[in-house]
Amino acid sequence: MAKIAEKCKLCRREGEKLYLKGERCFTTKCANVKRNYAPGVHGPKSRVKLTDYGKQLRAKQAAKRLYGLSEKQFSNYVAKAIKKKENTAQMIINFLESRLDNVIYRLGFTPSRGAARQFVGHGYVYVNNKKLNIPSYHAEPGDVITINPTKINKKLLNEVKERIKGKDAPEWIHLDKDVLAAKIIGAPQTAEGESVFDVQSVIEFYSR
């Protein structure tokens, strides 16, 4: 319970769901639904009107926690996006959503991004028929992602199959549920129904 409570506090601190506990976040057990106020002794009275800087900081913290990244990792993605000629906001989304751990989460192979990082780190994933255990790998159009048949155990494999039965893959990923093979077919987009962090505020925070 301690770890669950700790992660739920992060959502309550940001005032929005960060989906850190996967399926639990879509139920009435979600702490952000039951106690929609910041953690601490002041409870519901702890919310204060934020300055522009405060809003930018909260947007950055929410995005960083949503994807489970360190400050260095997240700021590097933003810096790379700013240097690109393309739309900066879309490039930030592309960098974050294209991470292999996020792709595994989007496919429904795991209930959360944290679990997806472990899934990849344990060597359960193949990319283009080669084992890849780097969660930050940038998946590109044309990449084929499959599960390592020699590494994953039968129980976990059955859990994956059961989990994806009622889940649709994002439009930018084609998933063959019968053989658990996915192919990146387009540019990443955030998932419908999941809160989207304020990308513009994030850009403004790092542009100060």
Residue spans in the chain of domains classed CATH 3.10.290.10:
97-184
Q: pLDDT, tens digit, for every residue of 174-190?
A: 999 999 999 999 999 76
The amino acid at 133: N
Question: Helices marked H in the chain — which ranges?
Answer: 2-14, 31-34, 52-66, 71-83, 88-97, 100-107, 113-121, 154-163, 199-206
Q: From 193, 168, 189, 173, select the one nearest 96 (Cα to Cα).
A: 189
Class of domain 97-184 (CATH, top level): alpha beta
Instruction: Report the chain's terminal Cα–Cα distance, integer Å.
Output: 39
Q: pLDDT, tens digit, for every residue of 27-85?
A: 666 655 656 666 665 566 655 788 999 999 999 999 999 999 999 999 999 999 999 98
- Tally of CB atoms within 10 A around 193: 6
Q: What is the pTM for the complete model shown?
A: 0.77
**Phi, psi for residue 147 in degrees, rounded to 5:** -95, 135
Q: pLDDT, tens digit, for every residue of 69-127?
A: 999 999 999 999 999 989 999 999 999 999 999 999 999 999 999 999 999 999 999 99
